Structure 1
Amino acid sequence: MAKTKLKKFRAAIVRDFPALASAEFTLIGDGWDSIAVDVDGKLIFKFPRNKVAGAALRRESAILGAVRAAISLAVPDLRLHEGPPLFSSHLKLKGRQIETEDYDALPEEARQKLGEDLARFYAELHGLDPARMKAAGAQPVSGWHTAAAIRKKALPLLSRKLRRYARHIVEAHKALSPDPGGTVFGFFDGHGWNMAFNRKKQRLVGIYDFADSGFGPRHEDFTYSNAISPDLTARIVSAYEGLTERELDRRRIDILTGYHHLSELADFAGNPGRAKQMRRNFKVWAQQQPDFPGEKSRKD
């Protein structure tokens, strides 16, 4: 199946880029909306799965056009090719994804620089004119599952101890007032898989995949970096406060992070393989919380 897909995509790419006929083509992503192809490690092509994904790709291209000149970090210069099939192209950002183990291995200076770079990225995005971003096609970000859906789908998949803590998080989330930081245009996908990090120079090169960007609660945008490290999130938040003179609620970010993990578990409740990973994500996060009760048992 993968070979068939690659053959089809290669033909579409070479039709518009005949000079790439002898290049090396590699499938690098099988995402929810699009499938990505790497060509010679220099170019990235994305093919949307369906009409809805195609509309999302067009929207992402327009949003990047509005964002690119306004932020300090590099982002893709996404060009659309009508085909058929519709696809996009952009130069590959020179860097690798950053995982928890990569961050943990960084020296103090590099960790602080990464936190500051990401804080500036968020501050610049949040400062963009909402009317301009709406005109570019930005929409409200997708909502998370309701408390009722999480109780029904996610909680039964957890151990007793984790289930008790999950109930605590659901109730804490329910008690949150509307975001005191208001609604902003943000990235809302700032985990390490969307970052191009130069490991040799120990610095962030750029950010990619703006498909999930849009309008949402300010504090929510700071939850995703916890997938890399809570230490990184703490550095981002502190630097962001210094740049914007706006205080953030760290406990609120923690509650939102836990609730998001539970919402993702509910998303994949019917997929044993993905549910196992989502369950692990919640466990790892929960055990990092100062109010997580008791010993950390393997059964949890």
Structure 2
Amino acid sequence: MTAPWIAEHRIPDALAAQLIGDAFPALRPVRLELLGEGWDNVAYLVDGELIFRFPRRQAAVPLLEREHRLLPALAPRLPLAIPVPELFGRAGAGPYRWPFLGYRRVAGETACRANLDDRERRALAAPLARFLAALHAFPTGEARRLGMPPDSIGKLDLAARIPQARERLERMRALGLLRDVRPWSELLEAGAALRASEDLRVVHGDLYARHLLVSAGPARALCGVIDWGDLHLGDPAVDLSVAHSVLPPEAHDTFRATYGEIDARRWELARIRAIHHSAAVVLYGHDIGDSALVREGLRIFR
């Protein structure tokens, strides 16, 4: 079986430079460097200022178009920086026919690369909660008018996600990455009856350490949130899972007090989501040889 993160289309440096130069002649000669490859996109830095993201698979194309349409409306309402699309490239005939997106680089280093200690993570609790409270307060009626869709893949459908999580935990154990799966299997089983709320809010949809940016230097302040392709209307639990996966337990009270009311059902659903997603991050990092992702994904299991 092919791993879900294997690309349908490769975008080598020369092709990316050609596509950018053809779509935006003012940027010629295109000087770029590879920033990285994710599940859905490959990202290049151009002239040290602009980031261009190219879909690696067909399913990522509507996600990129969603960012182009919705992020400019969200950005002014949020207390942290997010990418604001400026350049939308529509590739024509040739080896690559999907659109691609360019925006000003958001300053900061991903939290997984920063390898934060517990003190630094505790300092993230309040600003992260304020950011999510603002995001989840965005008017849903306005979001619908802008074309924001509901969740289409069942991120919180536990009937499907819990069996996936169990399989991932077993694979982690087989790889020697997790010694005992029983405590996590028991937590999954205990939450199996939980259901997502029908009170839909604007959610990021894929919030974890790789999509949080922290500033350089000793302060390591939270300064940005990136990769918004999974933006949708859903249960805020899908985002609140970041508190379980990134913050130490002693920071949870600060996070919850700053965010506002989080009932027991939503908090537990967020934890189930964090277990499922973190297991996926560990296996993805293992398969692509990214030790920072493996380390970050394993945090919740400690």
Q: 1:12 aligns with which of 5, 8, 19?
A: 19
Counterpart secondary structure, 1:55 = helix
Q: Which amino acid aligns with 1:132?
A: E
The answer to whether the aligner puts 1:133 opposite 2:140 as a matched pair is: no
Unmatched tracts of structure 2, length 5 or more: 1-8
Q: Distance in 1 between matches of 2:198 and 2:238?
A: 10
Counterpart secondary structure, 2:214 = strand
Aligned 8 A contact 2:129 2:259 in 1: yes
Mark the CA change 1:284 to 1:92 in structure 2 (over 3 Å): closer, same or farther. Answer: closer
Match of 2:81 in 1: 74
The answer to whether the aligner puts 1:47 opposite 2:64 as a matched pair is: no
Please give the residue correspondences for 1:48-197 in structure 2 after superposition, counting only pairs within 5 Å.
48-79=55-86, 80-84=88-92, 85=97, 86-99=99-112, 102-104=115-117, 111-112=122-123, 114-141=124-151, 142-144=153-155, 145-151=160-166, 153-157=167-171, 158=173, 162-176=180-194, 178-179=195-196, 182-197=199-214
**Structure 1 residues 179-188 or 212-221, which shifts more?**
179-188
CA RMSD after TM alignment: 3.5
Please give the residue correspondences for 1:206-245 in structure 2 after superposition, counting only pairs within 5 Å.
206-231=224-249, 233-241=252-260
Give the C-alpha shift of residue 186 in structure 1: 0.9
Q: 2:270 aligns with which of 246, 253, 266?
A: 253
Q: Distance in 2 between matches of 1:30 and 1:198?
A: 22
Q: TM-score, normalised by structure 2?
A: 0.75
Aligned 8 A contact 2:71 2:84 in 1: yes
Give the C-alpha shift of residue 203 in structure 1: 2.3
Q: TM-score, normalised by structure 1?
A: 0.76
Q: Which amino acid aligns with 2:207?
A: G
Mark the CA change 1:173 to 1:91 in structure 2 (over 3 Å): closer, same or farther. Answer: same
Task: Tell me which structure has the larger Cα radius of gyration.
Answer: 1
Give the C-alpha shift of residue 148 in structure 1: 3.8
Mark the CA change 1:165 to 1:94 in structure 2 (over 3 Å): closer, same or farther. Answer: same
Match of 2:300 in 1: 285
Give the C-alpha shift of residue 279 in structure 1: 8.4
Counterpart secondary structure, 2:64 = helix
Counterpart secondary structure, 1:162 = coil
Q: How many residues align?
A: 274
Superposed CA offset, 1:108-165 (max 9, x none): xx943x32222121111111121221232322333244434444x3354236962322
Q: Distance in 2 between matches of 1:235 and 1:257?
A: 19
Superposed CA offset, 1:59-106 (max 9, x none): 111120221222222211113122334211100011111238643175
Q: Distance in 2 between matches of 1:81 and 1:19?
A: 13
Q: Which amino acid aligns with 1:154?
A: R
**Structure 1 residues 253-262 or 189-198, which shifts more?**
253-262
Q: Distance in 2 between matches of 1:203 and 1:266?
A: 25
Give the C-alpha shift of residue 265 in structure 1: 7.5
Mark the CA change 1:56 to 1:3 in structure 2 (over 3 Å): closer, same or farther. Answer: closer
Superposed CA offset, 1:264-298 (max 9, x none): 38986xx97269989876754233xxxxxxxxxxx
Aligned 8 A contact 2:20 2:89 in 1: no
